[in-house]
Chain A
Amino acid sequence: MNILSIRGVSRSFASQNGGAATLALQATSLDAAENDFITILGPSGCGKSTLLRIVAGLDQPTSGEVLLDGTQVSGAGADRGMVFQSYTLFPWLNVRDNVCFGLRERGLALAQQHEIAQSFIARVGLSGFEQHYPKQLSGGMQQRTALARALANGPRMLLMDEPFGALDHQTRELMQELLLGIWEAERKTVLFVTHDIDEAVFMGNRVMVMSARPGRIKFESAVPFAHPRHYRIKTSAEFVKLKAELTEQVRAEVLASTALYSEPLHPASPAATP
């Protein structure tokens, strides 16, 4: 059963000085089934974040439509929780009140808000930090709070836009395991944008590779690893093989996108001439 249907969604941006509009995203279709963890890979500027923002309702498609449980999406809503790459905790609220933000909007009783918040704060390992303000937290802790805030709201699905992109490598790997652990327990449907191939394979059960701008989904691969996944699978032969295949796919697009703007760096490189 599909929970999310993206049907022929494209997006073009009007140019600033009256020229032709720029196409950022070609007509793209994608279906997400219940419990899917879909990771979307692509070179920077390929429109993967645009696609996610359209699903979130923060941006409008130029053509096509997005259906959530068969209903067309128009505008943002609490049914699609989002975690951003930038730190978007409300700086004037402490951790607990940040996690309660959506619950308060729904008008839940305070005791109930706190009870729900408490359980999600515990799940992301931040018990004891309820009274801290975002500026008193590290980047990883802020993103964990943002994850708890999105999950506490009980969304139908979770949208993640390079949520760990600003974190250092070690923190990032721990965050991946934390998110995977939560997903294995909750089985939320997730759409996860990243440019980290390791991350895409480790987290997802389906990996999408997008083409260079204007983006479209040009390659899809199922990830065969069973859950719960242990970080050691990252060094398994199967993982390395899948990663190598995706690396080629992404690399071709990165080269294609740089070739659009400048002379090829290595004219003799076989990957540059598809």
Chain B
Amino acid sequence: MKREPNVKNNNRTVIVLTGIVIVMFGFGFAMAPLYTLFCNLAGIQTLGGNLTTEKAAVEDTSKQSRYVIVKFDSTITRGLPWKFTPSIKEIKVKTGEPNNVIFLAKNFADESIIAQAIPNLLPWDANTYFNKVECFCFQKQLLEAQESKEMLIRFVVSTSLPDKINSLTLSYTVMNADTDSMKKYSNERQIKKTKNYLTDIYFKEIPLFYSLDKETS
């Protein structure tokens, strides 16, 4: 007996399978917007996340308010000849009240560089209770050659922060926003050549505790 395979059926199978391949390829790309959406829903920090107005964030502290500790941390990624540090390591803040903290930035390159700071807050459960009224991380920041600058974050920790959380850590990763410039400074020798990179006197003179300005409250 001689039986030919059913070519028509096979062609249909090929078309269906090719369809699956194309759909899965598209699914990979669809993940990019879907992932951002998911992060927003899950309260994972993204650019522009946690932005609120001062009016919405500030709460009546007469009824329930307590003190929590907010710690600050910063990291500079490869390819950015900046120094970027919080002016204080940690502060004790009252929930429901606005607070200002200054981050100090300096560009060591001989040209202007644009950078972007990416926030990350731990523990994750605290994300929805941490409201930023103003933050340097919402925009790209430009520093001219050798320029130093104070950058402000103004935030309110919500009074409804769960009781188990007594301490928050806000960490910023700062990266070069321009790919070409990043590649240029990625070369470590380039960074070392940039003068005074690690031993700038500016940062040695930072007082451990920067006076918090409360004039707006």
Q: Do A and B associate with each other?
A: no
